[in-house]
Chain A
C-alpha cells in the first residue's frame, strides 16, 4: 500500500464523519491559530518598540525624571529644570554632548473652527529636538531659537493631528486653540512610519517657553534629550551627563537617583526584554491550547478505533500486516491535525490583518512552518496510542467485537 493510497484512505475516513472530524479539526485549528497569532502579536509589539526607538536616533541619551524615590523627606529639589541645560551644554565639562533639548509632554485638546481633537503628545521643546529625534518638517518651516526666547505661540503639527483638526483645509498659517491660548501653525511634520502602541503622527511640537506659559506651567521637565556629537560617543556623553547631573542635583547614591539616564541601545535592550517576555508568555498560553487540541485527537481516534473494530478484524483476516494498520490510523490522525493546522494558519493570517491589543501583528514565516510541523507531530504523537491499540488487536477479538 503506497503512501498516497494511505493518505487517500485517511482523507476518506476523515470525511466519512464530518461533524466529528470537524470538531477535532477545530480544536487543532484554534491551537495553531493562537500560536501563530499570539507570537505575531508579540513580534509586532517588539518591532514597534524597536521602530519607535530607532526614530529617536541612535546618538541620543534620554534623561527622564521621576525614578525611584528613597523614603524620607527630600531636602534637595531633584527635579529636572531648565537650569540643568546650561550645565550640560558646557563644552569643557561635557565635550561629547552636542546639544540638550528640554522636553515637556502632555496630552492636550486642540480646537479649530468647532473641531476638537485630543493630541496624544503635545511637546514643548527647543528646535534642536527635531534633528535629535529624526523629525523633519515636510511643509512650512520649523520654529527657531528666537521663537523660544520670545515665547511665540507657534506650533508644528504631526500628520494625524493636522488631518484630524483641519480635514482637507490647508492648516498652514491657521490658528489652533490649545488650553485657552492660540498657536499659529507654521509647519507640518513629515509622516513617521512604523507601528507603535500609539500613533507617532498624533503629535504637535511648540516652543517650550510658550507651552509652559500657556499649557503646562513652569513645573519640572519631563525629559532632557541629550544628543552626542557622534553615534559612537554616546556612552561618553552619557557618563558626562551622569556626572554633571550627580553634581548639580547632589546625588551621592547613584542606585536611588531621582532620574533615569538611558542611551537608545539601553532603552532598546530593556524594552526588547519586556517584549520577549510578553511573546514567550503568549506563546505558552497558545501552546497549551494546542495541547488540548491534541488530546482531542487522541479522544476521537479512540472512538474511531472502537467504532471500526470489526473493520479492523476484517482487514486482519484479509492479511493486513500490523504496520499497515498502524500507518492507516496514524495517517488518519496526521491528516486530521494537518487540516486543523492549515486552517489555523489561514485563520491566523486573516487575524493578523487586524490590530490586536493596539499592536499590528507581524507573522513570522518560521512560526507558520513550526506550527504546521508541530500540528503533524501532535497528530502522530496523540494518534499513536489509539493506532497501536488498533494494530495490536488479535484478529479473532476484533472480528467478535460487537
Chain B
C-alpha cells in the first residue's frame, strides 16, 4: 500500500501489566505492530499469550500501561472517555466470541444501535441497517429476536452490526469460538467478503484453520510478537479456506 494516508493501526512498544508488586503480571511486553488499510490480519497465540489484552487495547476498551497506540492517525492515549466512546462508535466494529447481541431486542434494532449512538435519524438508520443485514444474508430475519436465531446467524448479525457504521477497523475476537464448523464457515465467509470490499480486519483466534482466511499472520507468545509473516497454506488439504468456490445462497453455504 503506497497511499499517503496513515496506517490504521500503529502500535509502538505496547506494555500492559496487571496487578501490583509481587503479584504483577505482564500481559504485553513491548508489542510493535503496524496494520495498513485494507489488510486482513490474524493474530494467533495460545491462551495467556496476551492476544485478548492486545485486542482490548486495539479496540479502545482498555488502556495500555505504556507505549503508543495511534489509530487512524489519532493518538488514542490523549483521548478522554467521551472521545473514546466516539472512536469506538465511528472507527471500530466489534465481533465478540460470545454472541454479543442485546437480548429481547430485534435484529434490526441491534444493528441500528451503533448508528443510534452516533445520533443518526431513525429512517436513515433503518435503511443502513437493512443494507448491512442484506450483506450478511439475513435480510429476511430483521424482525427476529436474537434467541430465535442459530449461533451462526447471531454471529452474522454481530458482523452486520460491526460493519454498519463503515468503520476503519473491524476487530473480531474469536468470532467462531463458540460455533460448529458449518456456522464458522458462514461467519468467516461474511468476514472475508467484508475484506474484499476494502475493510481492514483484525481477527484474533487460536485456530490455525480460521487464521488461514487472513493474508497476514501475527503470532504472539508471552506478550511478544514472535512471528509476523504472510499466510502460508496449511500442508493438509481438505479445507479450502477463503479460496473455496463461493456459493450463491446462504443455505448452500450451510450445507457445504
Does A319 contact B86, Cβ atoms closer than 8 Å? yes
B136 to chain A, nearest CB (A): 17
In the complex, chain A residues whose CB is within 8 Å of the CB of B89: 318-320
6 smallest beta-carbon distances between A and B, as pairs: A319-B89, A396-B62, A319-B88, A395-B61, A318-B114, A396-B61
Point out the residue from B81, B102, B118 that lies within 8 Å of A315, measured CB to CB. B102
Q: Which residue of A lies closest to B59 (CB)?
A: A317
Which residues of B lie under 8 Å from residue A1 when comparing CB positions? 116-117, 119
Assuming A12-B104, A311-B103, is B61 touching A320 (CB within 8 A)? Answer: no
Q: A316-B85, A395-B61 are in contact. Are A5 and B116 (CB under 8 A)?
A: yes
**In the complex the two chains form, is A324's CB within 8 Å of B61's CB?**
no
Can you give 28 contacting A-B residue pairs, CB < 8 Å? A1-B116, A1-B119, A5-B116, A12-B104, A311-B103, A314-B100, A314-B101, A314-B102, A315-B102, A316-B61, A317-B94, A317-B100, A318-B88, A318-B114, A318-B161, A319-B86, A319-B87, A319-B88, A319-B89, A319-B118, A320-B85, A321-B117, A322-B82, A395-B61, A395-B62, A396-B61, A399-B61, A399-B96
- Bound CA span A396–B117, Å: 19
Question: Is A322's CB under 8 angstroms from B114's CB?
Answer: no
B90 within 8 A of A: yes
- List which A367-402 residues lie within 8 A (CB) of chain B: 394-396, 399
Give residues of chain B (171-218) contacting chain A, Cβ–Cβ below 8 Å: none
Nearest CB to that of A399 among chain B residues?
A: B61
State the A residues within 8 Å of B (CB): 1, 5, 12, 16, 311, 314-322, 324, 394-396, 399
Closest to B98 in A: A310
Cα of A396 to Cα of B86 in the assembled complex, Å? 16
Residues of A within 8 Å of B114, CB to CB, are: 318-319
A318 cross-chain contacts in B, Cβ below 8 A: 88-89, 94, 113-114, 117, 161
**Contacting pair A319 B85 (CB below 8 A):** yes
Q: Which residues of B contact A399 (CB under 8 A)?
A: 61, 96
Given A311-B102, A315-B102; A321-B86 close (CB under 8 Å): yes
Number of interface residues of B (CB under 8 A): 28
The prevalent SS among residues of A at the interface is helix
The minimal Cβ–Cβ distance linking B82 to chain A, given in whole angstroms, is 6
Given A314-B100, A319-B89, A320-B89, output 19 extra A-B contacts at Cβ < 8 Å: A1-B116, A12-B104, A314-B96, A315-B102, A315-B117, A316-B61, A317-B59, A317-B61, A317-B88, A318-B88, A318-B89, A318-B94, A318-B113, A319-B87, A319-B114, A319-B117, A320-B85, A394-B62, A399-B96
Provide the bound-state CA to CA distance between A367 and B118, in Å: 41
Most buried by A among B61, B90, B161: B61
Q: Which residue of B lies closest to A16 (CB)?
A: B104
Q: Give the CA-CA distance A324 to B88 in the complex, in Å.
A: 15
- Note all chain A residues with C-beta closer than 8 A to B61: 316-317, 395-396, 399
**Min C-beta distance of A26 to chain B, whole Å:** 23
Nearest CB in chain B to that of A314: its residue: B100
Chain B residues whose CB sits within 8 angstroms of the CB of A311 once the complex forms: 102-103
